[in-house]
Amino acid sequence: MRCAPLFSTVNTNQMTSSRNSVLLTNCSQILTLRGPAPRRGRALADLGIIKDGALVINNGRIAAVGPRRRIERLPESRRARKFDVRGGVVLPGFVDSHTHLIHATSRAAEYEMRISGATYEEIAHAGGGILNSVRKLRGAPADQLKKHALAHLKQFAAHGTTTVEAKSGYGLDWPSEHKILSLLNEINREQPLEIVPTFLGAHVVPSEFRNRSGKTADAYVDLICRKWLPRVAAENLAEFCDVFCDRGAFSVVQARKIFSAARACGLGLRIHAEQLARTGAARLAVQMHASSADHLEKISASDIHALAKSNVTCTMLPGCCFHLGLPHYGPARQLIDAGAIVALATDFNPGTSPTLSMPMIVSLACTQMRMTPAEAIAATTINAAYSLGRGDRAGSLEVGKFADLAVFDVADYREIPYYFGVNHCSFTMKCGRIIYSRQRS
């Protein structure tokens, strides 16, 4: 795996010296998340907490982690540069497994329309929603999109996130989808967070395929399957293919076709499922062994049972319900109790969830979906890493793994969701290097 460069403006004075070893000590709690992954049922709440802990990093990887007294006596700790965490909580960097990072502008006007009574779907029908973002993205120069994305990524890092999945899907023609995926790959090389690109050409049917003779939604699906997916794979532009399979977007039949083509090209599968209506999208995810089924607000009891027996990660996106002002959040509690693999993500996007704060998502998961703080932490770290095929290198603080971690200025990890809407992240490390550091008083 890559260890990427730092943000160009990051203050590197404290821990990016030539010395390869770093000792993080005086940690009130280290949430190691050690042990088998993914986590189901009761195991989701097992954070592997070390109280009064310390951690040694060598060449970007975790070399030792344990009680402070033992770790500080190790020979490598004596050679290491010491960094006092002053009683903070250390946890794996958040893995945000569902974002729409590249978009041109906010949709604050639609936010106001919704507050005045229009629904998300009504706005979409009137040409707003995703198609509004598509129009703006097509007209936006790549350097402007890149500047915005880099600014967002700094904010992700400032909230403790170290890995970000990012979807295309606001282009919906080949030049624009290509522009987004190329940018994601470029950005992945040029800044420190790891970006996992996903092709979402099947976000909605673009205007030029609506109400035109001979140009239908099926023709668009055909274009994706025959032309675009092979190009995405040939140019190595994405790891996953996603489909918005829902009312007003793509049907299960269309999604199945796209998934078959994507799988034939070697891409992993993710799906936006059962957000607006129950369509059978979650069952499709199970049948096609998708890596992740996301949203799931409208799933039935039998869907929960099917998901629980599968290896599909159920990625809950409570930021959407919060931002849209909806009363019914996804059934995370039932999914966990049934034994499903549950993850949490921001769904950072301009229409339904314009937040990049995983601590806020953890707060929402606790109060709105009755996940415990421990479950929510595991769902934003190890299970999310598993859903992206990175469970072996990210999502936990175990010897040999990359030192991707966040330090929060709290004495107890439960205070992370407890202080909702407040960011207590004091610094974030990627591969053992500081990528965000808050000024200390």
Residue list 98-127, contact with ligand NIG (CB under 6 A): 100
Q: How far is the CB of 320 from Fe ion (least distance, A)?
A: 8
- Is residue 297 a contact residue for Fe ion (CB under 5 A)? no
- Is residue 278 a contact residue for ligand NIG (CB under 6 A)? no
Smaller CB distance to ligand NIG: residue 7 or 244?
244
- Report the half-sphere exposure of 194 (CA within 13 A, side-chain side): 26
Exactly one of 191, 310, 315, 352 binds ligand NIG (CB under 6 A); that residue is: 352
Residue whose entry in the numeric block shows the structure tokens 């039949």: 253
- Is residue 319 a contact residue for ligand NIG (CB under 6 A)? no
The residue range among 40-48, 297-305, 343-351, 382-390 that interacts with ligand NIG, by the rule CB under 6 A, is: 343-351
Query: 84: how many CB neighbours lie within 10 A of its CB?
Result: 11
- Is residue 250 a contact residue for ligand NIG (CB under 6 A)? no
- Is residue 357 a contact residue for ligand NIG (CB under 6 A)? no
Query: 406: how many CB neighbours lie within 10 A of its CB?
Result: 29
Distance CA 131, CA 124 (A): 7
DSSP state of 7: P
Contact predicate 229/257, CB 8 Å:
no
Distance CA 50, CA 348 (A): 32
Residue whose entry in the numeric block shows the structure tokens 């799931």: 296
- Is residue 110 a contact residue for Fe ion (CB under 5 A)? no
Q: How far is the CB of 256 from ligand NIG (least distance, A)?
A: 18
Question: Distances in Å between the alpha carbon of 173 and those of 90, 275, 381?
Answer: 43, 25, 34
How many Å is the Cα radius of gyration of the chain?
21
Exactly one of 7, 199, 240, 244 binds ligand NIG (CB under 6 A); that residue is: 244
Q: How far is the CB of 377 from ligand NIG (least distance, A)?
A: 23
Exactly one of 177, 194, 347, 404 binds ligand NIG (CB under 6 A); that residue is: 347
Exactly one of 347, 364, 404, 417 binds Fe ion (CB under 5 A); that residue is: 347
- Is residue 281 a contact residue for ligand NIG (CB under 6 A)? no
161 binds, options ligand NIG, Fe ion, none, Cβ within 5 to 8 A by partner type? none
Q: How far is the CB of 275 from ligand NIG (least distance, A)?
A: 5
Sort 85 into a burial class: Cβ within 10 Å, 0-12 / 13-18 / 19+: buried
Q: How far is the CB of 345 from Fe ion (least distance, A)?
A: 9
Residue 411 phi, psi dihedral angles, 5° rounding: -95, -15
Q: How far is the CB of 294 from Fe ion (least distance, A)?
A: 6
Exactly one of 320, 360, 394, 434 binds ligand NIG (CB under 6 A); that residue is: 320
- Is residue 240 a contact residue for ligand NIG (CB under 6 A)? no
Give the total residue count for the chain: 441
Distance CA 414, CA 91 (A): 12
Exactly one of 38, 129, 201, 395 binds ligand NIG (CB under 6 A); that residue is: 129
**CA dihedral sign of residues 130, 325, 321, 93:** positive
Smaller CB distance to ligand NIG: residue 349 or 426?
349
Residue 93: which of 421, 384, 291 has the closest Cα?
A: 384
Contact predicate 62/399, CB 8 Å:
yes
Smaller CB distance to ligand NIG: residue 369 or 425?
369
Residue 91 phi, psi dihedral angles, 5° rounding: -140, 165
Q: Which residues bind ligand NIG (CB under 6 A)?
A: 100, 129-130, 133, 244, 272, 275, 320, 347, 349-352
